[in-house]
RNA sequence: GUGGCCGUAGCUCAAUCGGCAGAGCACCUGACUGUGGAUCAGGUGGUUGGGGGUUCAAGUCCCCUCGGCCACCCCA
């Protein structure tokens, strides 16, 4: 039985119907939230020239984390590892004609050549939401509010997930005050980013290694305790006031150690974490004010975030919020009594479909028990039986699998009966 | 790319010192010739991830490889 199988490519996933249902569920919530804020759906190519990323992204990304291959002419093609460069190009190409600010969102596959682990694969789906053409803290807050609105919509409460916020300009000023020169800041940002990922002694050794004095290290520690630091930043005060007005203040917290790894963030940065810190970042984003310029356009400010499908799924699972989705769209299974009555069953199924129901038939004659069992396994709520007795009277027997209730009705009353049974749970069943 | 842990039936796992590969669940059949879930009985199912080595004998020990998980790295 166990034939030699061709395995999936490392780090990729098969989407069986139940997985596909969840992916679609995520997509529908993302769409609903993005559209509630007036964002338009868009997408870029999955294949891009290597140069698109070489132009702006870090060396590491392109050289070690992207799937790159030559096409038949020898040009180097990349499976997109992120969407932002494509967005930047799309904006730059139509910079003069696009109405700013533009608000765009997307959900699609991305690839990174990484070592797969829990919550991280080589092929994953990512929700991207960006606002381009606005450089205000209120714009930043809108993006954070979209993330928060998604959490609220799927049932994640502020005690469970938080969006942690900081601001790079604020941190820059603080580092300045500690006497850390500009050329050292990038390394120090990196150091701060690793604060919670390293043991204290290793972290301090690393800090000393990049040239920080003991006094400066103590200064950083003091900084990390300053959860009120945002009050000294005009940008963040406006950010939090806007978050308050948008009704998501409870999801958002100032966190001085949030800095984000990416070099191109220029102002506010944020990421969402589960409260217990069991999982990696659920979403991450921030303000990038020079992005479009890097692919040849005039500088346009932007702010956005991305959320991968894998971590959010783990988080939903952990909090018991992963939905139980119907296994099958079918509302009715029409059984096949025997070979002579097969066509009668097909006719009934078609009649029910014409009445707007979603109907599948058992594909061949079989013992009724087996067919009922199939309906049970597939989660089909209503079973129709069309045997000699029913056919002789122009009727059909309907059974509701949930309650066990069973009635015999005229053929032309069947659809109404099914609808009456299903009405409370699927009001939109009709076409 | 570096280091560590782990791969046994469809799933979850067991198998003593290296000594006949097992259980539960699932699946199929029957008890039940027009009705699912429950119960009972029986049955199918394995190159122990793959390859090589040591040995009279390997799920077990050694090497390689593939995959999963964890920590680095990174997280666009």
Q: Is A21 helix (H, G, I), strand (E, B) or coil?
A: helix
Taking the mean position of all CA atoms in its chain, how far away is CA A170?
Answer: 30
Report, in ranges, which bases of strand B sit under 7 Å from a protein C-beta: 1-3, 9-10, 27-30, 32, 34-37, 45-47, 66-76
- How many Å from the CA of A278 to C1' of B51? 39
pLDDT number for residue A204: 84
Nucleotide nearest to A122 (CA to C1'): B75
pLDDT number for residue A259: 86
pLDDT number for residue A62: 63
A65 touches strand B (CB under 7 A): yes
User: Model confidence over A400-412: pLDDT tens digits?
Assistant: 998 999 999 999 9
- Reported as half-sphere exposure (CB side, CA atoms, 13 A), residue A214 has a value of 0
**Tokens representing residue A47 in the block:** 């294949």
Tell me the sheet residues that pair with A161. Answer: A274
Q: Give the alpha-carbon dihedral of A403, A407, A412, A418, to 10 degrees.
A: 0
- How many Å from the CA of A107 to C1' of B71? 30
Q: Say whether the peptide bond before residue A160 is cis (omega within 30 degrees of 0).
A: no
User: Model confidence over A66-105: pLDDT tens digits?
Assistant: 888 889 999 989 999 999 889 999 999 998 899 999 999 9
Q: How far apart are CA A119 and CA A418, in angstroms?
A: 42
- How many Å from the CA of A365 to C1' of B33? 14
CB-based contacts of A178: which residues, under 8 Å, 6+ apart? A216, A219, A220, A223
Which CA-bearing residue is nearest the C1' of B76? A82
Q: How far apart are CA A336 and CA A174, in angstroms?
A: 76
> Nucleic chain B: which protein residues 333-392 of A have CB below 7 A from it?
337, 367-370, 372-373, 375-377, 383, 385, 387-390
Smallest Cα–Cα separation from A144: which of A23, A244, A230? A244
- How many Å from the CA of A284 to C1' of B75? 9
Domains and CATH numbers, chain A: 17-318 (3.30.930.10), 332-429 (3.40.50.800)
pLDDT number for residue A3: 42
**Tokens representing residue A367 in the block:** 């013992």
Look up the pTM and report it.
0.90
In which residue ranges of chain A is pLDDT below 70?
1-5, 55-64, 294, 424-431
Q: How far apart are CA A137 and CA A372, in angstroms?
A: 59
> Nucleic chain B: which protein residues 200-259 of A have CB below 7 A from it?
none
Smallest Cα–Cα separation from A206: which of A226, A190, A218, A219? A190
**Tokens representing residue A247 in the block:** 């009704």
A66 touches strand B (CB under 7 A): yes
| Strands A332-334, A359-361: pairing kind | parallel
Q: How far apart are CA A159 and CA A169, in angstroms?
A: 28
pLDDT number for residue A95: 87
Q: How far apart are CA A82 and CA A415, in angstroms?
A: 48
A280 touches strand B (CB under 7 A): yes
A297 touches strand B (CB under 7 A): no
pLDDT number for residue A428: 44
Q: Is A310 helix (H, G, I), strand (E, B) or coil?
A: helix
């Amino acid at each position: 039985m166990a034939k030699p199988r061709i395995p999936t490519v490392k780090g990729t996933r098969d989407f069986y119907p139940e997985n596909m249902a969840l992916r679609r569920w995520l997509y529908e919530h993302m769409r609903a939230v993005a559209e509630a804020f007036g964002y338009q759906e868009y997408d870029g190519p999955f294949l891009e020239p290597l140069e698109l990323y070489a132009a702006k992204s870090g060396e590491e990304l392109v050289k070690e984390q992207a799937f790159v291959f030559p096409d038949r002419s020898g040009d180097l093609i990349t499976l997109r590892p992120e969407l932002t460069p494509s967005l930047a190009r799309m904006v730059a190409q139509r910079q003069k004609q696009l109405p700013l600010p533009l608000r765009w969102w997307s959900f699609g596959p991305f690839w990174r050549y990484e070592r797969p682990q829990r919550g991280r694969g080589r092929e994953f789906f990512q929700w991207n939401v960006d606002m381009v053409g606005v450089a205000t803290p209120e714009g930043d807050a809108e993006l954070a509010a979209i993330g928060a609105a998604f959490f609220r919509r799927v049932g994640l409460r502020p005690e469970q997930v938080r969006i942690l916020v900081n601001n790079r300009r604020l941190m820059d000023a603080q580092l300045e005050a500690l006497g850390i020169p500009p050329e050292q800041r990038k390394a120090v940002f990196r150091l701060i980013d690793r604060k919670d990922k390293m043991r204290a002694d290793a972290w301090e050794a690393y800090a000393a290694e990049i040239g920080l004095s003991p006094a400066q290290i103590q200064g950083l520690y003091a900084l990390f305790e300053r959860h009120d630091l945002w009050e000294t930043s005009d940008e963040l005060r406006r950010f939090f006031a806007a978050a308050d007005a948008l009704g998501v203040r409870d999801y958002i917290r100032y966190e001085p150690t949030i800095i984000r790894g990416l070099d191109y963030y220029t102002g506010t940065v944020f990421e969402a974490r589960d409260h217990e810190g069991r999982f990696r970042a659920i979403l991450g984003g921030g303000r990038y004010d020079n992005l479009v310029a890097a692919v040849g356009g005039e500088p346009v400010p932007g702010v956005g975030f991305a959320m991968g499908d894998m971590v959010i799924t783990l988080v939903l699972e952990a909090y018991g919020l992963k939905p139980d989705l119907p296994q099958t769209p079918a509302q009715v299974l029409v059984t096949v009594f025997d070979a002579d009555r097969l066509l009668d069953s097909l006719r009934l199924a078609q009649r029910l479909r014409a009445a707007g129901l979603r109907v599948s038939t058992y594909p061949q004659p079989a013992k009724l028990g087996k067919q009922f069992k199939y309906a049970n396994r597939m989660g089909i709520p209503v079973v129709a039986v069309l045997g000699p007795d029913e056919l002789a009277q122009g009727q059909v027997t309907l059974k509701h699998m949930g309650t066990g209730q069973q009635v015999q009705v005229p053929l032309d009353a069947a659809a109404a009966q099914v609808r009456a049974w299903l009405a409370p749970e699927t009001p939109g069943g009709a076409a």
